[in-house]
Chain A
């Protein structure tokens, strides 16, 4: 039973790093970035290939983060430069990454059983995971308190304000997508090292898991204003992992988990949208002062 809980904690915190990334795009930037379904296995693929080349596993983490950032930059570039909608930009990158990931690994999956990973030492995996996850969370919290972090928050809130401050919102969007996808790829790297293999399909549904976790996190801390949203995201991830673990215990086959996750997200969104209208879609349109949109066509 203790093992059961520890493994939930371990997996929940590894996914938590991904949830932090999804939180940046979905919640802060108001940019539903589907490319994370590709950048998660991208991190895993980079890691698998690095480890089999004998590269230090911590450097593999770092490489995954960097390559994830590149992927986020591409999604942002498509959206900002070519005015492709945020959804489609993400989908295009996600699809493209499938082939890229296959190329990186050379095959659909790579076992890492006899490779040196970040867990190949005497320290319990849970400690390593806790340390990495908390460092990422603290760095993100710090970032969001900086001047540039303020701009990222304001970009999701009111892009006009950012423009009026003399800042190109394209830059803040791309930067936020880079950080987000870097975190997601890092999470993918940790997962590959944890389960000791990388599979090209391991990213399927990551975005929905991320959303489910964010929604879980928000609902447990409803009404409290002193808990940081990043903390909520991590707790949400743990809660999500717990609930899926129990679903498995109840006898659902693992193949049903994605359906269960989708249904959870649908229910949560349905309840949420009934209560208050969606962020960003304000129903304002009085007389003049029309808002000019130039980035919302496909």
Chain B
């Protein structure tokens, strides 16, 4: 579904700040995969999602989505197939606009944004139905400005908006990291149910090992721009923190554990 071959990326080339993030990186994602990605700070997780979505340009390598090369597609065209949710809840919505206006924009994705009215009354019920499922009380606040909502409410809204138009690929970059543990769980559960219902291929970056182990069908661990652990299928199902630790130990020589990892 998504094929990345021989990817290379260096930031600030030939300056003192030169930073080689990827050197010949490859990854093959199957349709329907739900992959969780862990790894230390600076390992290249966000960079990979940025390259896939087109907000950062790679130096070399092929990106193929459904067998079509997407290297040359600008970011705003890739969003036709790829949706994202970021760590910062304010990046997924327009804070000075109301919930209704935000949802109406997301609903119109892929269609023409012309000079017809932005809010259509007949979609209201549909939006209320979706929001009621969240049990966050948003269904009664359609005319509230999104900037007034809590981080968790906004992130739930971001997730709904990002998936409303049934994208083929969903990229989540620590999308629960700015939330408290309880809200974080609500958002992860929401993520799981949406991904399952809409059958969206998903990459989810997280620093929460439990999340990474319990969610999805494949787990990747990044270190210095390389995949050092790749567990899928049955093995992934029976994975627990202890087993993951064993894996760590085997590759300890690369001093993986020196970095921030959250155990919860």
Contact = CB atoms under 8 A, between A and B. Distances in A.
B201 interface: no
Interface stretch (B15-23, B74-82, B225-233, B243-251): B74-82
Contacts of A107: none
B174 A289 contact: yes
B76 A157 contact: no
Interface of B is mostly: loop
Nearest to B120: A147
A287 B177 contact: yes
Contact of B87 (A143, A169, A289): A289
B263 interface: no
Given A150-B105, A158-B91, A288 B76 contact: no
B118 A157 contact: no
Contact of A146 (B45, B56, B116): B116
A289 B49 CA distance: 9
Given A154-B105, A287-B174, A289-B91, A147 B76 contact: no
Contact of A284 (B46, B88, B94, B105): B88
Contact of A147 (B74, B91, B110, B116): B116
Contacts of B83: 164
B87 A287 contact: yes
Contacts of A147: 104-105, 108, 112-118
B138 interface: no
Nearest to B145: A225
B139 interface: no
A82 interface: no
Nearest to B178: A286
A249 interface: no
A145 B115 CA distance: 9
A81 interface: no
Interface string B44-56: 0110001000011
A163 B79 contact: yes
B117 A146 contact: yes
Q: Which of A146, A154, A165, A289 has the most CB of B within 10 A?
A: A289
Contacts of A157: 94-97
Interface string A113-146: 0000000000000000000000000000001011
Given A164-B83, A168-B74, A289-B87, A149 B93 contact: no
The size bracket of the interface on A is 20 to 34
Contacts of B45: 288
Interface string B158-172: 000010000000000
Given A164-B162, A284-B88, A288-B87, A151 B46 contact: no
B213 interface: no
A44 to B, nearest CB: 29
A254 interface: no
A103 interface: no
Contacts of A153: 94, 96-97
Nearest to B78: A166
A166 B110 contact: yes
A163 B114 CA distance: 16
Given A150-B118, A288-B46, A165 B105 contact: yes
A218 to B, nearest CB: 14
11 contacts: A145-B117, A145-B118, A150-B105, A151-B105, A153-B97, A158-B94, A158-B95, A160-B92, A286-B88, A288-B87, A289-B88
Interface of B: 41, 45-46, 50, 55-56, 74-77, 79-80, 83-84, 86-88, 90-97, 101, 104-106, 108-110, 112-119, 162, 173-174, 177-178, 205, 207
Given A165-B108, A289-B88, A290-B50, 10 more contacts: A147-B104, A147-B112, A147-B115, A148-B114, A157-B96, A164-B92, A165-B109, A166-B80, A167-B76, A286-B87
